[in-house]
Structure 1
Amino acid sequence: MKALGIDFADLRTLRLVHDLRSFSEAAQELGVNQSAVSYTIEKLRRAFDDRLFYRQGTEVVATERCTAIAEAATGMLADLERLVLPAAFDPSQAEHRFTIACNFYERQLILPPVMKRLREVAPNMRVDTINSISQGHLQLKRAEAELLIGPLRPEESGFYCRNLIRERYVCVMDPSNPLAEGALSLEAYLSASHAVVLYGGGWRSGYLRELDAQGLDIRQVLSVPSPAGLGRLISGTDLVTTVPSRIAETFGPGLHVTDCPIPAPFDIDLVWTERTHRSPLHSWLRDLIAREMRAVYGG
């Protein structure tokens, strides 16, 4: 059988080309040259008697059969990873290096209680974090991260999600700002001078997307790449900034906080893939994170 010549490394290559839609990006992810990826795909074409990929302009497009094979390969690779893990484990003795894709919000509000608990019950565990911005789902697909935390629930199939926190936006300003008197109207909000957090990577905050949807715009005077230090930046000025309510709480006392007139509530979720879905180790970590969030923020 031609299929007997296929190994798990071949299937991983196929899955990466399928997910990334690029031979060169798959090669970069695998740390090999592009010719090695092309050789593997040619080998798989012969084994499956299917062209698997074809070019459409500058994009690599998978055939219907290739997509079915990639989905099956994901399950097989996940099964292999589970086989090398113990069926049960003692957190106090277990060793693992988790990689979590997340951003400023999660590092400020979710990871601190989680890390405190991990250090208490699983001192041999290590956590690496990488910025996700708007690429978290790709980082999961590429196995660059085992878990994604953030307002980034993917719409496509192949992902599992668990809600952690329900969030909303608030407006923060110096108490001397005339807008701090009474409720903030939409008209006053639109005419205010704003400090806007632009996270980069194509990500736009939910309230900005809602403004776009309504054909509205605000007067941006200052932009920053993260909310870090933003409270000090607006203190003593006429600037208004719009941030998640729990981030506003980290600014400390001395600033006025009020409801944002552009309702744009959002969820912070845990997201993972089939690769770690049935792993006892990863299931334990997801449960620990969810428990800590309920303990700290309720729900």
Structure 2
Amino acid sequence: MSKLDRLDIKQLRVFQALIREKNASKAANQLGLTQQAVSEHLKKLRDVFDDRLFLRKTNGFLPTPFAEKLSHNVDKLLNDFKALLSPSTFDPKTIDGTFVIAATDYAQQVVLPQLVATLRQESPHLKLIVRDFEIDKLHDLMESGKVNLAIAFPDYIPDSYPILKLFEERHICVASPNSSIANTNPTLANIARYPSIIASPSRPNFKGSIDDWFKKFGLKRNIVVSAPCFSIVPMYLETTDSIAFLPSRAIKGLDLVEIGLEQSPDKFDVIAAWHPRYNDDALQQWVISLLEVE
């Protein structure tokens, strides 16, 4: 067994008390130990350091030159241990390092601009990485600490992760003002037959998030284009006579018209999620607290 394995914090505290009090009885009272226990710890310390450490005299102990020199290192070590166990004060202004956010294309447009602006203002030394949301790799990335926070939709997040609901969103049917369907009142069956563009950011296919909703009415959409992100769809709508179902907040300010529907698709939540291992992390909790919740 190495000398380090034979040494523990309690022995160092006994050493520190003996240096201060130079009396076994007083050191024992200070530490809440018996005098015999102090003697046992001192015996172990002498063995570890191969030095007598303290010499007996009529009214107490006299530290050896080695013990006096050792006391400075012991004081520093015990103070470091206290600092390790003391709650640290979190100050966003001084925090540095890197924080990684995985976000869907939608969240990058709608949620992150304000969050990034706040982080830059409140924590100027913190570096941010925003990466695309990879649904198949999310768990591994978050478990390994390569992603700190995910902003997406509930279906994309493992059930075991803590989540924070940011707001409720809805899909609306939109088209270019110049399309043949603009300013008309089509039935839901007409909408299903009309050429449609979808955004499929998680997996490239022709299945959109509201296909199940159309199935409730016995309808199947005529999907002609599958795009990798929401942001490109409005550009495709400008150049094609087609429609798309897009989240309402993602199209604000764009030159698109909403097509009125007899029925509306179900609303859905936009959430933030993180790995449970970061529940008590001060930086993590601070960033989460900055997210706007409606």
The reply to whether TM is greater than 0.5 is: yes
DSSP-derived class of the 1:92 partner: coil
Call closer, same or farther: CA 1:113–1:196 in 2, change over 3 Å. Answer: same
Aligned residues: 207
Per the TM alignment, residue 155 of structure 1 is displaced from its structure 2 partner at its CA by 5.4
| Partner AA of 2:189 in structure 1 | E
The Cα shift of 1:100 comes to 1.3
Q: Aligned equivalents of 1:288 and 1:208: distance in 2?
A: 34
Q: Which residue of 1 aligns with 2:225?
A: 222
Equivalent-residue separation in structure 2 for 1:114 and 1:155 (angstroms): 23
| Secondary structure at the counterpart of residue 154 of structure 2 | coil
Report the CA distance between 1:241 and its aligned residue: 1.2
How far is the alpha carbon of 1:184 from its aligned partner? 4.2
What are the residue-to-residue correspondences of 1:193-272 with 2, within 5 Å?
Answer: 193-201=195-203, 205-211=208-214, 216-235=219-238, 237-249=240-252, 252-253=254-255, 255-259=256-260, 261-272=263-274
1:206 is paired with a residue of what secondary structure? coil
Distance in 1 of aligned mates of 2:100 and 2:110: 17
Corresponding residue number in structure 2 for 1:113: 114
Counterpart CA distance in 2 for 1:128 and 1:278 is: 21
Counterpart AA for 1:224: A
**Which of the two has higher C-alpha Rg?**
2
**Alignment partner, residue 156 of structure 1:** 159
Cα 1:146–1:212 shift into 2, 3 Å: farther
Give the corresponding residue for 2:281. Answer: 279
Distance in 2 separating the partners of 1:286 and 1:85: 23
Looking at structure 2, the residues matched to 142 and 213 of structure 1 have their Cα atoms a distance apart, in angstroms, of 41
Q: Distance in 1 between matches of 2:264 and 2:134?
A: 23
The AA in structure 1 aligned to 2:103 is C
Give, in whole Å, the separation in 2 of the partners of 1:219 and 1:84: 62
What CA distance in whole angstroms lies between the structure 1 residues aligned with 2:204 and 2:217? 20
The answer to whether the 8 Å contact 1:171/1:243 transfers is yes
Paired with 1:98 and 1:235, the residues of 2 have a C-alpha distance of 37
Q: Give 1:96 shift.
A: 2.5
Cα shift at 1:235: 1.5
Q: Distance in 2 between matches of 1:245 and 1:84?
A: 48
- The TM-score, its normalising length taken from structure 2, stands at 0.62
Report the CA distance between 1:212 and its aligned residue.
5.0
Gaps of 5+ in 2: 1-83
Q: Is the CA contact (8 Å cut-off) linking 1:169 and 1:259 kept in structure 2?
A: no
Residue 168 (structure 2) aligns with: 166
Superposition deviation, residue 272 in structure 1: 1.2
Change in 2 beyond 3 A, CA 1:185/1:284: same
Q: Distance in 2 between matches of 1:222 and 1:205?
A: 11
Give the secondary-structure state (helix, strand or coil) at the position aligned to 1:176. Answer: coil
Residues 258/223 of structure 1: CA separation in 2 closer, same or farther (3 Å cut): same
Q: Which residue of 1 aligns with 2:73?
A: none
Contact 2:214 2:220 in 1 (8 A): yes
Deviations 1:230-287 (A, max 9, x none): 222211532111111111225x23x212356451321111111221101121111100
Q: Describe the shift of the 1:137–1:116 C-alpha distance in structure 2 as closer, same or farther (beyond 3 A).
A: same
Q: Give the TM-score normalised by structure 1.
A: 0.62
Q: Is the 8 A contact 1:173 1:240 kept in 2?
A: yes
Q: CA RMSD in A?
A: 2.6
Q: Which amino acid aligns with 2:211?
A: L
Where do 1:65-76 residues align within 5 Å?
A: none
- Structure 2 counterpart of 1:123, which letter? P
Question: How far apart are the structure 2 equivalents of 1:85 and 1:117?
Answer: 29
Shift, 1:228, TM fit: 2.6
Partner of 1:96: 97
Distance 1:212 1:140 in 2: 35
Unmatched segments (≥5 aa) in structure 1: 1-82
Amino acid at match of 2:111: I
8 Å contact from structure 1 (residues 190, 218) kept in 2: yes
The 1-side partners of 2:250 and 2:219 are apart by 24
